[in-house]
Structure 1
Amino acid sequence: MIPLQLNLKNFLSYREASLDFRGLHTACICGPNGAGKSSLLEAIAWSIWGNSRAGTDDDIIHTGTTEVCVDFTFQCDEQILRVRRSRQRGQTSTLEFQIATSEDELQVQFRSLTERSLRATQQKIIQHIKIDYETFVNSAYLRQGRADEFMLKRPSERKQVLASLLRLDEYDRLAEAAKERSRDYKAQIQLLQQNQQSLETQLEQREETLEAIATVEREILQQQQAQATDQDQLQQYKVSNHQRHTWQQQLSWLQSNLDQLTRECQRIEQEQKHSQQRQQELEELLGQEAEIHQKYSEFEQLQAQEQVLSDKLHAYQEAQKERSQLQEQLTNYLSDLKSQQQQIKAQLEALEQQKKELQNTLGQGAEVAAAMTELEAARTRLASLDQLQTKAIPLIHRRQIIQTEVVSRRAHTEARLAEIVSQINRLQVQQQTAVQVQQAVQQVSLQIEDLEKKRIYQQRVREKGLERRNFMERLQAQLRDREVQLADIEQKLRLLQVPDAICPLCDRPLDEHHWDLVAEKHQAQQQEFRNHIWVLREQLAVSEREIQLLRDEYGKLNRELAGSDNLQKQWGGLQAQLNMTATERERLQKIDREKAALERSLKTGEFAGDLYTELQQIERALQELHYDEKNHALARSDVERWRWAEIKLAQIRDAEKRLQSLKNREPELVEKLENISNLIEREKTESFLHQKLVKLEQKIEQIGYDFAEHKAISAARNKAQVWLTRKEQLRQAQQDYPQVSSRVKEVTKRLLERLQDQEKLRQQIDLIQEKLKECPDQTVAIKNLEQQIAQRRHQLDLALAKLGQLQQQQKHLEDLSQQKHLIKHQIKEAKNQYRVYNELAIAFSKKGIQALMIENILPQLEAETNKILSRLTGNQLHVQFVTQKAGRSNKKDPKLIDTLDIVIADARGTRPYETYSGGEAFRINFAIRLALAQLLCTRQGTRLQMLIVDEGFGTQDRQGCDRLIAAINAIAPDFATILIVTHMPQFKEAFQARIEISKTAETGSQLLLA
């Protein structure tokens, strides 16, 4: 993996940063501690794998921002890839993965490889780069503080560290899986062997089953023959009864038809009677034809006279209506004129009243003139006082402000004093309760310790319950097995009770002696199984009681432990109160001093000293002006007291004008009143409406409508209305009479035909009744014979069921025989698999493939480490990995112990790692770490093209630093990019390419490529 471009936004200490790695081979990332050097490299790991040293993903977001984004472009296996990972604060991350489709230097085109989910996209990235985060950290990225991790472990732990780095823990999982599979196969072998033994026991019943099948088949044949004879006799009886049943049905049908025909004859007779009656009624109506025509003519004459009178009534009503309307119009018009006459009279009366009131007002002129003189004098005095007020108002206003401010300051000071007194009282109470809080803390601590002991006891109770539950499951499995075996023994004992029973073991006939031996043996086994089942059930009952007791105890402990969280919270609250006690004591002393100062200020007036001085100056200035608000108020009241004269003078002038107007209006109203009175008199006798009313009265007399005559003719017409109905009935009778006569003849003919059919049916019924007497009823015989056949059928069914059961049992025994051969083959296969997985478990264990792989890798690691170390130390240091050493024993040939010691040699010989100086130890760590990195990448199937060295070089002297620089330059051709993180000046100057990191509070971390 070769870096090309890195863009950061709000990542850790960076806000906006961009770094182009193109052209950089060996570069130094330098800057002060905490500037963000390691954060730059953390960004690469977070963008590709989503891992960082931060506790949560939100912690990597720059303080004060809500979104982080890292865009990293790199080259891997001749392909240019791009990864972009971003995250919103409090939300999930988003991940994009792209591959370059063109390598244009100006602009690279990318194609998306992003999957639907973040996990799938992450997996695809790892498939392309062929390295996961753990391998990257342990190979390409030499992180701060981890160079000596391998060396500081004990020899017994170094193999585990090396196995972890080499990802050999996968073999532990395989070994455990192989052990699990071998245990499964072992249990399967035991189960199959038990099944095989059970099958062999059941197959002993085969011969006995065959003999029982033959016996049952003979019984079935005999019963089937007897059944066939009875079936033939039953068939004959059923044929005879069937013929009898057919005749009975015919007889029933004929009787039904006869009844129906009888009812029809009765209906036709009734219909004939109604038709003849209708014919007679029509003949009577036709005989009254002349009378009906005469009465109908009289009805038409009355109807014509009634129509003439109705027309006169309509004309009379219209004229009466028009007369009423004209009378109403004339009345309304005269009423309006009289109303106008009354209004004018009221206006003349009001005019006279107003003239009297205005003359009274004009009589007050002398009094108003004297009052106006007093008003002018009062206004002169008020103007002089207003001038003095203009000068005094600012001073009075300022005096009010100062007085308000003094009151406000006093209230504020008193409120602060009251607040301080309240705080002092509260703090004193809290100081008094400190001892009680201390005692409460001790008491709660004891309760928490007691609950912790109960929690440990509860865990033991739970483990005990699980143990008893497992024991019960094993007992239940044994109980089921014994019950199956007991059922098998009881089945064999039932077979022995059958006469001429065969041996259930060898399938041979048994004589009396051998029968007793076999029965005694099976009965003994039966009793043994029953005893064992009884013991198992007793053990199950005891275990159930123990589990119930443990469950009750566990529930009781649960209830007792339910308040542990509240106790912890209570302890925390009490502890916080104790911690606050000392702080509050100091605060109480400070508040006491402030209280004394406030009381002194209120007593002496210090809280408003400047305001009191200014208030005295204002009082002196007001005294010099000789301005008195009381005199000013009296002057204003004098002006207000004489102001009525000004208003009254205006009223007198207005009264003069109004009086002249009233005198001008009076003649006009008198003339208007006379005109309206004359008009009223003329309208009563000479108006157009009056003349129209006279003409209407004449028209009403010409109509000549008589109400009594109209009423008499209407009554006569209504009485003759009945002949209109009789005329319609006569017309309908003339139409219906031919049809009714024809209907009478037709009904008489149909009645004669139905009486002839009735006689024929009676003759057929007599014939069938004679045949039924000759054929007896066989129902009882059929019922008896069917019961006999059903009983035999039941017996036959039982025999067939028994035969089917025996045949099924025989088939089952054949299946068991095949199953026995199959189980035998499965046992063989299971044993083979058990051996295979048992050997695999040993092979995958730490003493198998893992130990072998470490043994094979250590020479490579040792050679690569010494190669690098020789460059760093000038061939002064050499390491050797020792995997076995002799144990502590007094025997002649002590046992070898597996270990992983690191022997370090210099010019003076070998000595422990701890005795070397910090610079020497760092060079040893660096060599081993770099060798491990190259080895891990080789095993991962990829080349280590980028190396990041983020280790502290402060332990190196000048010569050690020079050798480190020389070593890095020496291994540089093996890598495409090497990044060294340091803050040492000699390292900054040793490399031409430098990435300088700086950090300020305003801009965050910034980088500069030099």
Structure 2
Amino acid sequence: MIPIRLIINNFRAIEHADIDLSAVSLAAIAGRNGAGKSSAFTLSPRFSLFGDVISGISLDDLVRKGSTEMSVEFHFEHQGSVYRTIRTRSTKGKGKSTLELQQRVNGQWESRSAEKIVDTEAVIRNLLNLDDGTFTASSMILQGQANAFTGATAGMRKEILSQILGLNIYPELQERARQKAGLLNIEIEKAKDKIRTLDDRLAGRAVKDNELQDLLQKNSELLAAIDKDEQATKALEAQLALLNTKLSRAQQIGREIVAIEGEVDALRQERVEHGGRLERAEKILANEALILSKSAELEQIRGELASLESMKPNSDRLRTDLDAMLVDLQKLDEELFQIEKKSFETALQLAGREELRQRAEEHEQQSLRLRNFEIKAEAWNALEMEIHSLESRQDREFVRVEAEERRLKERIAALEQQEAHIHDSGCLPTCKFQQAAAAAVAELPLLRKQLAEHDRSVLAALALTIAEKQTEQQGLGYDFAAHRDCKRSVDDLREAATAFAQFSGKDELLQQLEQQAAEKKARKTAGEARRDDLKRQLADLVQALEPLPELRRKAEDLQRYARLKDEIGAARVAADNANERMFAIDATITAKQSRRDELALEQSALEVETLDHAAISERLANLQTVIAAARRQLAAMGEQIGGMKAILAALDADQQERDRLAADLEPKVLRWTRYQTLIKAFGRDGIPALIIENAVPQLERIANEILGQMSKGKHYVRFETQKELKTRAGLSETLDIMVGDWTAERPYETFSGGEQLRIDYAIRFALAELLAQRAGSKVEWLTIDEGLGSQDAEHRALVLDSIKSVANRFKRVLVITHIEDAQAAFDQVIRFDNADGGVEVCVA
């Protein structure tokens, strides 16, 4: 996180402040006590991000006295994006608070807030991966709280370090492992219950096997009885099959007689058809001469059609070429229009060249003049800032001088009043009151002398310096109005100068356009000649193709004579074949009628031989009824056997299910054991302790690098993460701070206040850098609030050097201090000055 801007309204002592930190890297925060420095740079960003962050103070108490509305707007950069939080508080009625989180996307603010304030605060914590405690511990050293880490208990130090290292995720991971282990344990217990249930069902399997064997024995005996009856059935079926064969033969003969009669009818119909073919063939042969004449005429017409049809593709080609040529001519007209239009515009532009040249030269002169104005303006502004600074010093010196003179005048007036009492009281000179008044009166000449000779030389020197700077400023000859007019003139002439710079290629462009226009006109003339030629050729071809429809109609009418010509030879053959086939049909009809009479005699004999068919069929039906009853009994027994086998199959499935559950149980138990291991690993003494153990050397290295610079190499720190138990053997987890110097190591608490503060700073800087290196919660901002007062000049310089040395590890380092020599050590100073009852913030 990198702070960019703070906009504060009616927050604590601050009526209004707009603080732009975008250009600040390392700066001192200066201003009178109570101006709101700490409120602005430590409390307001925490309030805007996290809300109620000041213990024992309500939100209404943060609203500036005399106001009812308060707001803090905090802009910051995080992970490459710019965000802002806007938190407000109103004391009207029952009081109302609002909170808005926004992200800047493509130059616009887009809301990232939730519906409720508490949910939006959760979004902010998730975005930063920080709560207020960790944010403050890592980015701020608050006034009087430099030892917030070093002065805490060992357990609290471990807790702060755990938050900085992001170890707060491990309790959540441990809880997840517990939940998964619990779910897995439920599955294991369910599997065990299922196995016990299956074992109960499998206990009666032997009884079911015996019942199945009894049913199979009875089924075998019933099958033997059915087999005996079926043998008798087969003998009757053989006799009945022979009779059925004879009946079938008799029926077949009847069908053959019917078929022969049908064949005779078909032959008679065929004879009629052949008679019709013979009649058609004789007609074709009678008109042979006419058919041949019409066929010859058709061949002649086909020749003429072929000649005309060969000309038709030329007609289509000519139409296509003509259409394409018309499109090309239209395109040439459009291109020629655009070229002539552009040539006209270019010629118009070239006509105004001289005027543009003059304006371009004027632009160059005004640009040189503008640069001179800007140089003077920069010098003027620099002197203006010096004068403003001197006037501020003059105001402070004037207030001091006036206060001193007022004190002297008030003292002189009081003494003069006592002097008057000496003459009016009437007391004896030995009276204590008179003696005290006399002593006071004796002081009057000295006070009057001090008042008359009161030193105003600093005021005079400042006034002289201010006058010199103002004279120097006036000597620059800077004219703001002329500067503004010159800038406006440069802006007005810029477009003309740019247009004149582009004239270098306009002449050549005009020549190219004229050449292109000539080429297009030549192509247009050639295209028009080609268009006229294509129109003439197409007209001639259309005239030649006019007879084509009439020839097609005649050819279609004569087509039937061509078909009849092809049938003349076939007609002679058909006439001969028809006569032969009609003679053969007559002979076949006579033979079939003789066969029909023979079959009728055979059918009568078979009907006599099959008179016993009904009696044998009855005996067979009775025997089949007995067999069917036996088979129904066999089917019922089969169902019993099937049901028993189904029961045994279900028991086999139960056995397989039990084997599967037993096989699945072992890996689940193994997984449950692993989750137990994870629960222990994610606990306080597991991975978190290991991470702290590994992070402590890095923390020591950074802290000792900074502490060595602060103490000129005299001190170093060492963290103890384990110590021996006092009541029993073993080690306990801790985070003790041991500090060493040139003599020995001893606890942090045994060092002096100034030494402790340097140790505090070194460790807090190291903690801040450690957090700044964390992915996902990178806070590249460090604020130090009034931490230099307990240091002597030498060690204060060392602390300031250390602050500067760590500044390159952060994007923003802000030091709040009232010590002037400490303020002078910084190139950038953010000054809080009184302005109309509020606070004016100057970033220099």
- Please indicate the TM-score interval, normalised by the length of the shorter structure: 0.3 to 0.5
Calculate the TM-score normalised by the size of structure 2: 0.45
Calculate the TM-score normalised by the size of structure 1: 0.38
**Higher relative helix content:** 1
